[in-house]
Amino acid sequence: MNLLRLTACLLLTTGLATAQDAAAQLADAKKLLKEVSPGQFDLNGIQINAATRELRIPCSVLHQKLPIEYVLCHEAGEKVHETILQTAVRPIEVQLALLLANYQPGTKGILDKLDAKEERPYASDTEPATPGANRLAIHCEWKEGEKVKKVPLSDFIQDSDTRKTPPDLDTWIFNGSIIDKDGFNAEMTGSIISTYVDRQAVINSAAKGNHRDDLWISMPSNIPAEETKVTLIITPAK
């Protein structure tokens, strides 16, 4: 959890190239990151377990029933009309938390199931330094009365063609949002977890059909009531 080491990692993995960028990122990390108990950290509401690499992100249900391209967006993001969950946590904080928990960004895995006849949404893949270090398992947890419910994030989603939960949506890819001349793209769009291939989002789906923007819809019967507080739980994919 060394902040100087984190800054160096952030420079390498996101393309932040200037000393000014590094100093700003380090200053932000110093302000946000707190050790609440041995091995347990808080990053502006994101809980980070250093030993298990579990992240817990506070969210709420925004929409139960709608066509979706996203599962999680920042509450002020431009795609909130297409997401199930929203959060007050900033996309850069999610990316920072993933790096702190030793996940490594890379697009490898997003397009593994794309049919060779289909046009690629982007030209080439990047790989994490450690193979598989960008692969995530994501669950949702919330309370119903005195009971705590926990389900895979995929339970909130259905394929509009089959009206079933995608069988291959148990793994998500930490690709890391694009950084270009305009800055950290996810901060501008508010996109955090995308079901439709979006390099501006921090995390993408690896499911077959993710190149289609019309394939995914929410699964209302599995989603708690709108405004319900939900914790998004990220762990390493098995």
The terminus-to-terminus CA distance of the chain in angstroms comes to 24
What are φ and ψ of residue 53, in 5° steps? 70, 20
Residues 6+ apart with CB under 8 A from 97: 43, 46, 48, 55, 57
Asked, for residue 188, whether it belongs to a domain, the answer is yes
140-193 pLDDT tens trace: 999 999 999 999 999 999 999 999 998 899 999 999 998 777 778 898 999 999
The structural domain count of the chain equals: 1
Q: Which helix (H) or strand (E) holds 83?
A: strand 83-87
Asked, for residue 12, whether it belongs to a domain, the answer is no
Asked, for residue 23, whether it belongs to a domain, the answer is no
Output the DSSP codes for 26-77.
HHHHHHHEEEEETTEEEETTEEEETTT--EEEEEEE--SSSB-SEEEEETT-
Asked, for residue 17, whether it belongs to a domain, the answer is no
Asked, for residue 29, whether it belongs to a domain, the answer is no
The pLDDT of 205-209, averaged and rounded, is 96
What are the tokens at 130?
Answer: 């450690």
Residue bearing the bigger pLDDT, 99 or 85: 85
pLDDT of residue 23: 41
Comparing C-alpha atoms, which of 231, 175, 230 is closest to residue 199? 175
Asked, for residue 91, whether it belongs to a domain, the answer is yes
d(CA 112, CA 134): 14
Asked, for residue 8, whether it belongs to a domain, the answer is no
Q: Which domain holds residue 145?
A: 44-236
Kindly report the number of other CB atoms within 10 A of residue 219's CB atom: 20
pLDDT of residue 18: 39
pLDDT grade, residue 226 (50/70/90)?
Answer: very high
The answer to whether residues 100 and 41 touch, using CB atoms and an 8 Å cutoff, is: yes
The pLDDT of 185-212, averaged and rounded, is 95
Output the DSSP codes for 181-222.
TTEEHHHHH-EEEESS--TTSSEEE-STTTT-TTSEEE-GGG
The pLDDT of 66-75, averaged and rounded, is 97
Q: How many Cα neighbours within 13 Å face the side chain of 238?
A: 1
CA 1 to chain CA centroid, Å, is 20
Q: How many Cα neighbours within 13 Å face the side chain of 232?
A: 27
Asked, for residue 200, whether it belongs to a domain, the answer is yes
